[in-house]
Structure 1
């Protein structure tokens, strides 16, 4: 599904973002990327859909090189990759349903999307996506009237309406309270299990990574220093990733609660 082949990223100021990454993410995996700030997590994630251009190497998406893709081919590959941001990236003055329909822009002409001329089947798809993340009652509410957790659910629904095969999430719960954090991650886990969508998620919390991931990748200075199933992600291995003993912070303790 996603293959990194000798991928490196060097920024103009000489900082190494990625250092010779070689790994493959299979269809249906829930991969969590962990590491200190500056370890390369966001660079890794954003290189998958070419929000960041790599310096050397190649990234393959579904047997096609996104690194070499141009024009319509690049747009088609990106259409299959949804993105969830820490800051939600919603149009705050637009309704929830309009924000979710933004996931359909890759399927229509620029004029149609600017005018909001989405076909009925797109609107039905958007409503089903909102229903899946338990926020359908807010469909015609302005996005800036929602809580942070609700806004993040809208961004998840947008990726679902996009019919993405891969969803990338860059610190999707960093600005949320512990209860809402669990609810959002439960939504992501559900769509991973029930829909088979591949998830690649950056998280700061080790405990959340252990609870939700099927595989954990640890980065340090742009290099992969750990890659394995959750069962192998011991405290000792995390010490290697972080360069110091890892202690669970009070804010990272898991709250066991059903989704709302």
Structure 2
């Protein structure tokens, strides 16, 4: 369980990223965060694992304060939190297997991981994760030889090998084509349902949010303006999130559904 207690983030230039956020995310939820660029989506997501430090308040993971944690305690909490990035965040010149094994670094000494001394159990975990992502045959291929969709599935496999209880995904399909987007979102939904992993995902596409989320959180100017199920996320509620009326349209260039403002 993830809990935000009156969390505020103010950047050095005075911009308010988050303002007095109170939020509870239960184990096993598939939460999608939506909002305009600059609404605070990435700030909220990255504050969960302290990639962004908050200015005030507290965030707890399973009752333990990650805000106050230091040293080994912080590493132990972070070990349970996987991260998926828009740009995949892989070591391009390393093999797929080595990239997935990097999810195990939190379990071993720095020297051991630098030298690549991973026990057989870790290799088995990595291979199983790649098999679950239907990419096992690419285990010994260099990551930079994969398509964007394959690279993103490698990053998901890395989080699985990490044995993460929570996976944070920051715009994981923003750079993918529509077909690959569906495949990656289906993969995330599958591990959420089959493994009970809690997912917190930032998305620009409200259509995808409605299709995959069990819960949608709308942010506007660093504040939560909507928190409910996909069924409750009506066009009217999205208008409140985005600040103007919106209608569903079709982008003829990439055939993706998107929201466009009504002039």
User: Could you tell me the TM-score, scaled by structure 1's length?
Assistant: 0.97
Q: Does 1:253 align with 2:232?
A: no
* Equivalent position SS for 1:37: coil
Unaligned runs of 5+ in 2: 259-263
User: Could you tell me the TM-score, scaled by structure 2's length?
Assistant: 0.95
Paired residue for 1:97? 97
Please list the CA deviations of residues 164-218 of structure 1 after superposition, one character each: whole Å capped at 9, or x if unmatched. Answer: 0000000000000000000000000000000000000000000000000000000
Please list the CA deviations of residues 119-158 of structure 1 after superposition, one character each: whole Å capped at 9, or x if unmatched. Answer: 0010000000001111001000000000000000000000
Mapping 1:139-158, distance limit 5 Å: 139-158=139-158
List structure 1 segments (4+ residues) > 4 angstroms apart after TM superposition.
none
Mapping 1:216-227, distance limit 5 Å: 216-227=216-227
Paired residue for 2:206? 206
Residue 244 of structure 1 deviates from its aligned partner by 1.2
Mapping 1:34-113, distance limit 5 Å: 34-113=34-113
Q: Would you say the 8 A contact 1:207–1:252 is kept in 2?
A: no
Paired residue for 1:126? 126
Unaligned runs of 5+ in 1: 255-260
Please list the CA deviations of residues 38-91 of structure 1 after superposition, one character each: whole Å capped at 9, or x if unmatched. Answer: 000000000000000000100010100000000000000000000000000000
Paired residue for 1:172? 172
Aligned residues: 254
Q: Would you say the 8 A contact 1:82–1:166 is kept in 2?
A: yes
Q: What is the distance in 2 between the residues matched to 1:245 and 1:129?
A: 43
Q: What is the distance in 2 between the residues matched to 1:204 and 1:188?
A: 16
Residue 253 of structure 1 deviates from its aligned partner by 2.9
